[in-house]
Structure 1
Amino acid sequence: MRCNPLYWLLGIVPIAALSWVAVQVQHEDIESDLARRTSEALKRANLTWATPHVSGRDIVLTGKAPEERGPMLAEGHARNVWGVRVAYNRSGLIEHVANYHWSVASDGAGRLRLAGDVPSEQARRSLLDTAKAAFPSAAVSDGMRLARGSVDPDAWLAGAQFSLKTLAGLKRGEAELAELDLSMRGEAATSDAYRRAKTALAKQRPPRVALADEKISLPMARPYTWNARKGGDGFLIEGYAPGDDVRGRLVARAKTLFGKMSFTDRTDIADGAPDGWEKAVVIALEQLAQLKSGDVAFSGRDLTFSGEAADEQVAAAVSRSLKLDVPQNFKIVDRIRYPKPDLFPAGSGYVMGIVNNGAAIDVIGMTPSQAARAALVDAVKARFPGRAVNDKTQVAPGAPEGWQQCVVAGLASLSRLTKGKSLLSDRKLELTGETDDYATSQSVAGDVKAAAGQTCETTVNVAFVGKMKTDLAWKATRAPNGMITLEGDVPDDPARVRVIETAQRIYPGESITDQMKIVGAPPEPWQSATRVALEQLARLRRGDVEMSGKEVMIQGAAESERVADEIRSVLSTDLPPGFKVRDAITVMTGEEKAADSCQTLMRQTSAKGTINFERAKADLTSDSTQTLRDLVEVANECPSFSIEIEGHTDAEGTDERNQRLSDRRARAVADFLTQNGVSARRLSTIGYGATRPVADNATETGRAKNRRIEFNVKVN
């Protein structure tokens, strides 16, 4: 039999095709098997960052390792897989950063953002799982990136997970990890959440995680309310306090004040308390303790205080303490009641009273005659124009001697009060009431006593119920002619006297002009600040120091830079706490020092001598000649400087007449100096009339001091 080659060829072709297909199928199975087993080996070695790519029996590794030995470890594990012929390592390292930083922020509106550096993909997935568990309804934004650093990955991951879990308890906030230093800021949703977050950050942080910064705020309360109620044998407080420490102090203070009463505390903690809140609450508690019963209600800066006092004196004292001691940023409404006593109890004697309740005037009691009764009512109407006057008096004989003088003494001062009463019982006059003018509250007692004289015995109890001023404006000026002028606000009359006495001690022999006014304010720390200011002003040759609230401004000429620096140093250290200092101190030139010496000589010469004029004229008297000749010598010893001659008069006569007279008198002195050898080009004159008194024009001695000539030496 012959073999046909064509038939063999036809048989071989399908066999070859089938063999090729079988090889291809087996090749893919081999690659898939190698890839699977290599991935499993890498996973077991915790090298999931590496991705194997198989070609035949060759493995190519890609990816970025979180540590330097990672690529080498991955290559070794890939080579050890059975069936792998060659392993090619094309992996790299993730970026290295010097300052490892990670953050998370929750906006309170359902959005959570993760950002910053993470050490591995496994850590990233772990943090995302933790975030979704802690914030189940939040939309999580992943802005994290792989990065290497010097941080321990396990400790870092524990710190990041702790941050997420703690932040989940806040209404909104953010946390940051800088290496292993944790910072957290945010607002708690409730007071319990606030306490949990504070406790966790203080005591439950993972090992090695340090707390760098913490600013967790309480939930905000609007309005910020706090109430206290005293009634029967029980005492209740409720509302908000700005922290557990403040709440504890207030509870302790309340228990001390109301210890014998049953006590209920329903307060919670929240943010939003106004400035000075704790002080205001303590003062309100202390004053509530003075009442038989009452309520305190705070709403923001509004304080409503109501209750029942034992008598009018207690009510007035409580009202006064509230208005003087509670910080001035609070608006106070007090509604304190008290039983009204019988104005004229049985056996009071011959009595008469005038009562000003703030709206109408009641005239009650006894008058000696119909004429006296009518005159009294007319006098009351004149003192209280536009007010309703209710005449409830009756005519009765037996009025004591001097009755009318005592009645008028009480009426005159009663009209200066916002409300009050004047009661005359036989020869005893009692005036009580309140005023919002501090100067009035200080002067009424003396005025009543002076008006009554020896006719009757006086008792005065007037409460100041206005707001004490804290932003006083005060100024002291030291002029080149040696005059010290004090002007502006002073707290009270004792403080005014002490400031004048301090100035007299610091500037002996110099003329001190008092233009200050009493406004009603706490004397300290204002009084201490003015003493320091006056002492440092004395070290300047001329200048002024001005206080506005707690800001001190001093300006003028110092003898040297050393003196200027010493003044600045003393003011920065010796002023009471809270005061701030600004200065515009200059250092005198040699020419200015010389002019200042001439100024001193001119002032001393004129002070030791006499410069007088004929009454109401500009004619110099003969006893002025020697003093003026001495002044000629002093002026010629200072030929480089000009001299301004000031004329001053007392307040008698019209302003226009005094102005002209002061001008003519200054000119008369200039003429004398010129005629006796002083260059006229160096002299100028000015008249001030009665506008710059140095003493009280109400006395002859004071008027004599105000009629004067002064000299100012100036650098040309």
Structure 2
Amino acid sequence: MHQPSKWWAGLIAVAVLWLAAMVFKTASVEDDIAPRARAAVAASAPTTAAALKVSVAGRDVRIEGPEFSPDQPDRLKDAATVEGVRLVDGRYDKLPTPKPYAFRAARNGSQLVLEGGVPTPAVRNAIVNAARSASASEVVDRLGYALGAPAEFAAIANHGVAQAGKLNGGTFSLADKAYSIAGTAASSDIYEATIAATQQLPGGALLTNVAILPPEAKPFIWSAVREGNTVVMSGVVPTDDIRRGLEAAAAKAWPGTSVMHHMQIARGAPAGDFDAYTSYALTELGRLGTGRVVISDATYAISGEAPSSAAYDEAIAGVGNLPAGLTLAKAEIVPPEVKPYRWSAEFDGTHLSLAGLAPSTAVREAILGSANGQFDGKPIKNQIGIARGAPDGDVAKAGGSLLQQLARLSQGSAAINETQVSISGAGLANVTAASVREQLASTLPAPFAIASVDVRDGPVSPYAFGLQKQDGRVRLSGYVPDEAARRDLVGAATSSFVTETVEDGLKIADGAPKDFVTSLKATFPALARLWSTTLAAKDASITIEGDAIYDKSAEQVRKELADATAGGEVKLADIKIGLKPESPPLPVDACQPAFNGLLEKGRIRFNTGSADLSRESLALLDHLVDIAQRCKEAEISIEGHTDSVGEPEDNMELSKRRAAAVVGYIGDAGIDTSRMTSEGYGETKPVASNDTPEGRAQNRRIEFVVK
């Protein structure tokens, strides 16, 4: 029954069938287990599963890759033991734990190379994606997994990679949480953005080193423009500190003004102190109402309009005071326009002050040169400003013409108002208003014209006065210091020279010696006694020549003149008194008219209540003596009269004594009085009412009656 030799064929067929069944069954089991095991691993290690390899052999699962955490083997073993799994075999590579935990991103030409450690595949992918987003360069991933990454590593690394990717030659490194970045920005905007990004680091990163360079600008240009209520600063500056300093300085310099800036950070600033350059330029811009300042490399340009003459001078001075290392390329500063256009000069006798406007510094210097020439040695205060708007014509020559005339004054002022000029003051010795006007008119350039010349004639030197008495006239000539002095002298002459007509030929001028008028007046009573006379005063010296009516009066006049001039500043230098030629006799019938003619011009006066002749009457008496001398054939009665004041008997007696005193005076003059009588009538023969002062004055009289 047993035939083993016949079994082999059957056994082989059965074995083949069994093997085929086993193969098909195993493949079916693996296809079932593998996806479930991989899903379980991915769910258990979502951030690291991408770095792990999960394979299935029959009902056995093998997991290979880095060991990202100590619990990973057990955790994944449990996770991978899904239904149908017989065995889970974990084969993990131990990861390093570097200290410090280092990461680096470097942009090298067209590549952005990532190196260093990352904690998980998820972090790795995030960093790579960030690198691709930050740069158009090819991203080269040379990262490796490592344990010990600091908290928020991914956020910090992504931040650094994003910034480094924007920079030419950009590098970013992270050592634990120490953040360093370097590179060169291709534009100011990128520079500003990357610098700003370093100020807001994520995850508690510590900024260790920043070496980000701004772009290079050639030429290196910065500018500021002021117009109206707006100041705009543009261009490039080397640092943010300088930029912020300029903003603060502008806001302080122009409060209430809109200060805007379009300044960017760049390399390429000129050698030297760029901060000082821009601060200087901003200060100079502040002197202008509208204007522009530009720094281009190491050159400086300024243009604009000054709001005032003082600001213009300051701006021009500033151009000459550039900081070291800065050179001037252009300065186009215009002064303000002013209307009306005025200039003035004032001289107080010791100092000259110049003020007002000139159209340019050259004109101002020309006027100052004229002032120095005309007022040599005198202190000059120059406050002339520069402004536009001057009238057509040579302002420098007009100012020089006025200064030439002002120098002829002891004090005064001169002015230009548009095309009208004026001058006022007091002349120096022998300078008159007429001469000032004449000379000014001859040198003043067109279209300038004289508006006014209010110059007081200067003192006369020598200061002269003359008096000439002859033929019934007294002529006054020469100078007196003012109108009051003129009236005083003319009045004194009229009172003293009662027998003559006084002619006023006086002029007013400064320069009179002290007590000049008083000294002259003191001589008049004595001079009035002379028949003819000439007085010449020159400064403080008086000379007198004249003819007396009789010998005794000559001596008396000499003494009176000496006494009159004694003790004063004005001295009697010389006196020559002779006798007049003897006058021809008068017929008797001509004597009464001659006496009446003199007595109509003046009255013989006496001291109050007495028969003493007053000094003021001596001149009249001497001329009456001359008439008496010429009327040798006439019988003459000299009669005295009084007013009604007092007792009649007393008045009668007083009138007799006064008449006798006149006869005695004539006799003392050397005249034969044997043909003369004296009578007194008191108040009995009035010629006017005694009820008024005027009437009583007329009644008090001496009469010469020819019989």
TM-score bracket, shorter-length normalisation: 0.3 to 0.5
Select the structure of larger CA radius of gyration: 2
**TM-score, length of structure 1 as denominator length:** 0.42
**TM-score, length of structure 2 as denominator length:** 0.43
